[in-house]
């Protein structure tokens, strides 16, 4: 019988990463996020104990001990899309992740963040984060992955950190890209035509018009963002026309519209018909903040293979290391 490794999930949002891991046979025990709507959405599809609240105010001793800890810690301070401040207070939230890893000593952890974290502070930030995890007894590997290489119909580059407990002597290898890239046409083939109220119709800002936002049916989509008014255009929209550097306009033929929230969810590889609670802005936010389900699934599958190789390996916890060593004497 296939073993079900247990998961504790931080910064879980609506649960894109969690769902990807559950699809590969893991069991989500406990999840947390500060977004109330996202927590309710998570509760609808999962059986986890989903706790809404500020991670800095939670009692970590009440969190169950898992085999794996997941976390896409907040990336606003690291993002290439907005202001990038080394001292942004959101950049320190990962320390709660490190603290929980130290306390629970899981066999492994998986963390996700935006591409911009690699160059923030000329690379000093990512190096400091990796060193923090290493100091807790983990061998850490980091790699920039594009979700489009793993069955996600979207160009979405994200940094994935995977840590394996040093005592386990296990070697994790990142998954290899798939041969086929899923297109927008394939992703939306079963998605119903949206209602007007399911599409963000906010005005198009100068930031939005600073670059092309439309791709064709047989392409992969641009990244689905968390901000509704920045969501890319549906391929039925007329092509955008470049006017000057950092200035584009809409074509005159046809109707211009963004992806609906249901279409955005499909591009993020959430299951068709999945329920997201909250108003339109909240739905787009939950979807855009999520780790694409199929990207998470590819990482989960690779990690599962690694953990299976270690089933006969004793991973020493600080709490039982002396007892184990005495047994070997």
Which one, of 66, 158, 162, 68, lies nearest residue 117 by Cα?
158
Which one, of 187, 277, 293, lies nearest residue 232 by Cα?
187
Strand order in the sheet with 6-10: 49-52, 27-33, 6-10, 68-71, 108-114, 157-165, 138-146
* Dihedral, 195, 38, 89, 99 alpha carbons, nearest 10: -150
Burial (CB count <10 Å: 0-12, 13-18, 19+), residue 79: buried
Q: Which helix (H) or strand (E) holds 34?
A: none
> Which phi and psi (to 5°) does residue 165 adopt?
-55, 125
Q: How far is CA 251 from the centre of its chain?
A: 34
Contacts of 18 (CB under 8 A, 6+ apart): 7, 9, 12, 28, 31, 42, 46, 48, 70, 296
**Distance between CA atoms of 58 and 29, rounded to whole angstroms?**
16
Q: b/e per residue, 245-255, with b = 16+ CB within 10 A?
A: eeebebeeeee
Query: What are the DSSP calls for 71-133, one per residue?
Result: E----TTT-SSS---TT-GGGGTHHHHHHHHHHH--SEEEEEEEGGGGTGGGGHHHHHHHHHH
Catalytic residues, which ones? 75
> Which phi and psi (to 5°) does residue 76 adopt?
-55, -40
- Read off the tokens for 239: 């092509």
């Amino acid at each position: 019988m296939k073993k079900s490794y247990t998961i504790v999930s931080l910064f879980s949002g609506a649960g894109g990463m969690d769902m990807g891991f559950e699809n590969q046979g893991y069991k989500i025990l406990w999840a947390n996020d500060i977004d109330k709507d996202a927590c309710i959405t998570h509760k609808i599809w999962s059986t986890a104990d989903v706790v809404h609240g500020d991670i800095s105010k939670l009692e970590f001793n009440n969190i169950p001990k898992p085999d794996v800890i997941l976390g896409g810690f907040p990336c606003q301070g690291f993002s290439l899309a907005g202001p990038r401040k080394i001292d942004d207070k959101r950049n320190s939230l990962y320390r709660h992740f490190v603290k929980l890893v130290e306390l629970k000593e899981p066999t492994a952890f998986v963390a996700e963040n935006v591409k911009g974290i690699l160059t923030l502070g000329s690379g000093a930030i990512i190096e400091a984060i990796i060193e923090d995890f290493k100091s807790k007894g983990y061998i850490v590997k980091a790699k920039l992955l594009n979700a489009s290489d793993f069955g996600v119909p979207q160009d979405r580059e994200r940094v994935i950190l995977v840590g394996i407990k040093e005592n386990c002597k296990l070697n994790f290898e990142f998954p290899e890209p798939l041969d086929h890239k899923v297109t927008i046409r394939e992703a939306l083939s079963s998605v119903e035509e949206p209602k007007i109220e399911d599409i963000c119709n906010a005005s198009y800002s100068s930031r939005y018009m600073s670059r092309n936002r439309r791709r064709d049916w047989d392409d992969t989509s641009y990244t689905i963002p968390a901000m509704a008014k920045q969501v890319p255009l549906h391929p039925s929209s007329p092509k955008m026309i470049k006017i000057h550097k950092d200035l584009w306009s809409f074509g005159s033929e046809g109707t211009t519209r963004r992806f609906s929230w249901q279409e955005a969810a499909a591009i993020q590889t959430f299951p068709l018909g999945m329920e997201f609670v909250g108003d339109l802005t909240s739905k787009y936010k939950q979807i855009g903040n999520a780790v694409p389900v199929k990207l998470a699934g590819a990482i989960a599958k690779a990690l599962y293979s690694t953990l299976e190789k270690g089933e006969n390996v004793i991973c020493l916890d600080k709490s039982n290391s002396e007892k184990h060593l005495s047994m070997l004497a």
